[in-house]
Amino acid sequence: MKPSVLVCRAVFPDIVDRLREYFEVETNEADVVWSPAELIQHLQGKAGVFITGTQPIDTALLEACPQLKAVCSMAVGYNNVDLPACTAHGVLVSNAPDVLTETTADFGFALMMAAARRIAESEHFLRSGAWTKWSVDAFAGSDVHGATLGVLGMGRIGRGVARRGALGFGMKVIYHNRSHLDAATEAALGARYVSKEALLREADHLVIVVPYSAAAHHLIGAAELALMKPTATLTNIARGGIVDDAALAQALRDKRIAAAGLDVFEGEPAVHPDLLTVPNVVLTPHIASSSLPTRRAMANLAADNLIAALGLGPNKGKPPTALNPEVLA
Ligand code: GLV
């Protein structure tokens, strides 16, 4: 008998069909966002689960689902999964790195440019019918080319953003990260490691790409925003909660900083009401990795991991992007 797996959200049908070659598959065609209790109910008897970056996988769930052996996410960020608890329960966890790096870096760059050049704000103005004449200083923003790009979190996506800035737009790149880049990468990007404080003070355009963890909660709040240039922009493509959204809305309203681009929010899909009323922020609904080829690649990678984690398919026993491969050893 085929093992049973659960696919938590509506996923490309051909990828679900690929899973059906190996598994009895329960899907969520209606794309309902299940509560933790509903998720536990759907997981009864399932050996594996295909998740996204939003379903919480914690000790309570693991204890309620003793048959569960694999949790495979199509997201790169896995702050929704208690990895040590999964390892302790012998549950393999995988995420989806690499396949979304360039697409997400493209989007980070686009949001930063939209904030700097006031694209969303001016588009709303035009659509509202307020455009009656060309004027000299209309929506005068700040330049991106030649400016200083500050990257907070220099992982794969951070490096992608830095590469675009340095090589495509002649930007001076500074960064802050847990570790330094190797000298060759620093030289190729012309990137300079600086303290978090110097990053905030010197960046014309700050792009946040650090993974979420308890330590990263409100890494950027009122005190940090106060260090930034009044002409600076802030872009967050990492996770909600890294930026204190209430403090950011206030800083934008007060013109403490010039503009922001946000793809992620504390408590999303709810958005802090103050962000909805300040004009100088571009807001998008967590879509940085959402090009069709990339979302398909992410889903295919999660499927590959699930098949391999449950001992099947060409990579059996060796899920390509396992986070705790030791549980299969
Ligand atoms: C999206 O936010 C991801 O982590 O893949």
Write the CATH number for 20: 3.40.50.720
Give SS3 for 211.
Answer: coil
Give SS3 for 126.
Answer: helix
Centre of ligand 1 to C-alpha 76, Å, is 5
pLDDT, residue 75, reads 98
pLDDT in tens, 100-137: 999 999 999 999 999 999 999 999 999 999 999 999 99
- Banded pLDDT at 13 (limits 50, 70, 90): very high
Q: Helix 13-20 vs helix 292-309: angle between axes, to the nearest 10 degrees? A: 10
Residues 250 and 129 in one domain: yes
- On whether the CB atoms of residues 117 and 144 are closer than 8 A, the answer is yes
Ligand 1: atom nearest CA of 78 is 4
pLDDT in tens, 23-80: 999 999 999 999 999 999 999 999 999 999 999 999 999 999 999 999 999 999 999 9
Q: Backbone phi, then psi, for 43, in 5-degree steps?
A: -85, -5
Length, in residues, of the chain: 329
Amino acid at 115: A
Centre of ligand 1 to C-alpha 97, Å, is 9
Centre of ligand 1 to C-alpha 124, Å, is 28
- Banded pLDDT at 328 (limits 50, 70, 90): very high
Q: How far apart are CA 61 and CA 37, in angstroms?
A: 8
Longest Cα–Cα distance of the chain, Å, equals: 72
Residues 118 and 9 in one domain: no
Residues 185 and 200 in one domain: yes
Count of CB atoms within 10 A of residue 11's CB? Answer: 25
Residues 306 and 275 in one domain: no
Hey, which residues does 207 pair with through a beta bridge?
151, 235
pLDDT, residue 225, reads 98
Residues 67 and 147 in one domain: no
pLDDT, residue 69, reads 98
Centre of ligand 1 to C-alpha 75, Å, is 4
Domain count, the chain: 2
Amino acid at 102: E
From 104, 236, 294, give the residue whose CB has the most ligand 1 atoms within 8 Å, as the site to mutate.
104
The two tokens of residue 266 are 């504390």
Residues 69 and 200 in one domain: no
Question: Closest residue (by CA) to atom 4 of ligand 1?
Answer: 77
What mean pLDDT value characterizes the chain?
Answer: 98
Ligand 1: atom nearest CA of 100 is 5
Q: How far apart are CA 210 and CA 207, in angstroms?
A: 9
The two tokens of residue 281 are 């922020």
Centre of ligand 1 to C-alpha 137, Å, is 38
Pairing of strands 172-176, 191-193: parallel
pLDDT in tens, 200-233: 999 999 999 999 999 999 999 999 999 999 999 9
Residues 211 and 270 in one domain: yes
Question: Closest residue (by CA) to atom 3 of ligand 1?
Answer: 75
Hey, which residues does 35 pair with through a beta bridge?
none
pLDDT in tens, 289-308: 999 999 999 999 999 999 99
What residues are labeled active site?
239, 268, 286
Residues 226 and 154 in one domain: yes
pLDDT, residue 68, reads 98
Residue where the block lists tokens 């209430």 = 246
pLDDT, residue 269, reads 97
Question: Closest residue (by CA) to atom 1 of ligand 1?
Answer: 75
Closest CA to 151 of 116, 177, 186: 177
Residues 183 and 317 in one domain: no
Ligand 1 neighbours by CB, cut-off 6 Å:
53, 75-77, 100, 289
pLDDT, residue 326, reads 98
- Banded pLDDT at 270 (limits 50, 70, 90): very high
From 100, 107, 237, 295, give the residue whose CB has the most ligand 1 atoms within 8 Å, as the site to mutate.
100
- On whether the CB atoms of residues 214 and 242 are closer than 8 A, the answer is no
Centre of ligand 1 to C-alpha 34, Å, is 19
Ligand 1: atom nearest CA of 264 is 2
DSSP 250: H
Q: How far apart are CA 132 and CA 119, in angstroms?
A: 18
Residues 79 and 157 in one domain: no
DSSP 299: H
pLDDT, residue 309, reads 98
C-alpha torsion sign, points 15, 16, 20, 24 = positive
Average pLDDT for 239-265? 98
Q: What is the dihedral of CA 142, 144, 147, 153, to 10 degrees?
A: 110
Q: How far apart are CA 115 and CA 107, in angstroms?
A: 12
Range of the domain at 48: 4-98+292-328
Ligand 1: atom nearest CA of 77 is 4
Q: How far apart are CA 83 and CA 288, in angstroms?
A: 24
Residues 113 and 73 in one domain: no
Q: Please tell me the number of Cα atoms within 13 Å of 75 on its side-chain side.
A: 21
From 76, 94, 209, 237, give the residue whose CB has the most ligand 1 atoms within 8 Å, as the site to mutate.
76
Helix (H) or strand (E) holding 73: strand 70-73
- On whether the CB atoms of residues 189 and 163 are closer than 8 A, the answer is yes
Q: Helix 292-309 vs helix 101-116: angle between axes, to the nearest 10 degrees? A: 140
Residues 93 and 128 in one domain: no
